[in-house]
Amino acid sequence: MEIETKIKEILGENLVTLAEYYTGDETNLLVICNTLDFDVLQKLKQLKEIPFIFTKEELIDGVDVFPIEFFTIRQHHKILFGEEFLKDLVISKTNMRHQLEFEFRSKLIHLRRQYLQLKDKHLEALILSAVPTLVPIIGGLIYLKDLHYTDTQDMFKVVSEGYGIDMQVLKEIHDIRQGKAKLRKDKEQYIRELITILTAIGEIVDQLKVAE
C-alpha cells in the first residue's frame, strides 16, 4: 500500500508498529511510534489517509482509560509492519464496565437529542449510524461475560442471550447497511427500539458485578 510505504519513510526507526483494525463497518489504520512530537505530526499531515497515532507508552498506559477502544484493537487487528504487542494488552474488566456504562448512557443522551433536533428525512441516517457506533461497545459486553461470537450478526445473538436483551433491531439495521434488507418499519419505531435497548443495557451494566 502506498500509505504504508509513506508512513515508513516519514517515521523511519521511530515507527514501532503499523497495523489495521476492524470496528464493525470499517477498517482503520493504526500507527505506533516511539516518540510523537509536533514535528512528527507535521510530517504525517501530508498523508492522504489519517491514521490513529499513539506512542507505545501512550497506548499501554491508556488501556485503563480507553478499555473499549483498545479491546477492539486487540481483538480485531492485523500487523502490517513492526512489533506485535497489541495481542498482549491487558484489559481490566472493572475499567471496561465503567467505560461501558458511560458509553451506553452517553449514546442514549445523544440519540434522544438527535431525534429532537433532526427532521424526519434525516432520521434514516441516524438509525443507520447506530450499528457502527454501537458495535465496539457491544464487543465490551461480550468481554465482560467471556462470551464468544463469530461475526457481527452472531454478536447480537450472543449478547441477546447473555444479557436477556432483544437485539433484533440492531440485526435489522446491520442487514440494511449490508444491502440485505430495507427499512420495514416506521422510522420512529426504530428510534423507539434503539432507545429501549440503550436504556436497558445502561441499567444492566450499572448493576453488573465483574471479576478480573
pLDDT under 50 in the chain at which residues? Answer: none
pLDDT of residue 119: 87
Cα gap 24→168, rounded to integer Å: 17
Q: What are the tens digits of pLDDT across the range 150-188?
A: 888 899 999 999 999 999 999 999 999 989 888 888 999
pLDDT of residue 152: 85
What is the model's pLDDT at position 212?
A: 74
Question: What is the structure's pLDDT at 206?
Answer: 93
Distances (CA, A) of 111 to 8, 173, 183: 40, 15, 18
Report the distance separating Cα 67 and Cα 87, nearest Å.
Answer: 14
pLDDT confidence of residue 22? 87
pLDDT score recorded for residue 48: 86
What pLDDT does 183 receive?
A: 86
Q: Nearest to residue 30, comparing CAs of 67, 91, 72?
A: 72
Q: What is the pLDDT of residue 151?
A: 86
Reported pTM: 0.86
- The reported pLDDT for the residue numbered 39 is 94
| Residue 32, beta-bridge partner list | 17, 54
> What is the rounded CA–CA span in Å between residue 80 and residue 103?
30
pLDDT of residue 42: 94
